[in-house]
Amino acid sequence: MNRMPVIEIDGLGSHYDDHGEGTSIVLVHGAQRTVEGFYGIVAVLKEKYRVTTPSLPERSGSEDMTGKVTIQRYSDHIAHLLSKLGTKKSVIAGSSMGGLVSLCFFFGHPEMTLALVLID
């Protein structure tokens, strides 16, 4: 994979990867992981789907959030990223803390969610 592009979200420089076309799948990493952990599955999924892997703030070069960092803020951050990318609805999938962020996204942004996948 190439160097991740950066997009500004709420004043933060946020890294993300976005590959493929078709139904959108968003993969959310856990607290002790980075988007690089998804590269193997992205290589497979991007053949049939659009796969977006946001780097949560404070990870993989994305800038730190100011103030209190919460799961809700991470969830909203992903919603803003998807809006900026023109993505209307996605399958949202996450592992570990990324699963909690995905669950929060599912309940907080149902209009943007096709399905929820919690990865063990």
Distance CA 94, CA 30 (A): 7
Domain holding 84: CATH number?
A: 3.40.50.1820
- 41-80 pLDDT, tens digit each: 999 999 999 999 998 876 555 556 667 778 998 999 999 9
How far, in Å, CA of 37 to CA of 22, rounded? 22
> Quick one: pLDDT at residue 1?
44
Residue 40 lies inside a defined structural domain of this protein = yes
CA distance 65 to 85: 21
Domain assignment of residue 39, given as a range:
6-119
Structural domain total, the chain: 1
Q: With respect to residue 99, please indicate whether it lies within any of the assigned structural domains.
A: yes
Residue 80: inside a domain: yes
